[in-house]
Amino acid sequence: KKRHSQEFLRTIAHLRPRTNTISAVARVRSALAFATHQFFQQQGFVYLQSPLITASDCEGAGEMFRVTTLPIDTPGKMPLANGRTDFSEDFFGRAAYLTVSGQLSGETYASALGDIYTFGPTFRAENSQTTRHLAEFHMIEPEMAFADLWAAMANAEQ
């Protein structure tokens, strides 16, 4: 039986989940996501699905992926203002990006709902092709409203 490389499988999406490696990773991720949600729900946290598209560079966490409906393939048709791209004519009315963190939404919701957590995809646009760099990953971000240091440490230790 011929084995395909991971690089080759990235080019053929329908074959990926049929491999032992990718199917095992999917099962482990499913179990970990379930355990994550179960833990925070048992602790009384509210699950927040924070926006994936944002105009904010939360935490200054690095380069961001821009989201636009402007005709980037046809530079002559790009709307300009003062020699720069005019995002007021874009779908969102200003520059928009894939999120690097759900923290800003989390802090806002925690002020209203109490303890919350986000658990979803985040995106980083650093062009690094190392095994330690991911352009997309899921991040868990708990926000504890009105907690002191001892409550935050107790939660982290659990």
SS3 24: helix
Residue 127: both structure tokens together: 């062009």
Q: What is the per-residue pLDDT for 55? A: 86
Number of Cβ atoms within 10 Å of the Cβ of 45: 20
Quote the DSSP letter at residue 98. Answer: E
Strand partners, 120: 139
What secondary structure letter does DSSP report for 70? S
Is the pLDDT at 155 greater than 80? The verdict is yes
State the number of CA atoms in the 13 A half-sphere of 154 facing the CB: 7
pTM score = 0.80
Tens-place pLDDT, residues 55-108: 887 766 567 889 999 988 887 888 888 888 889 989 999 999 998 888 889 999
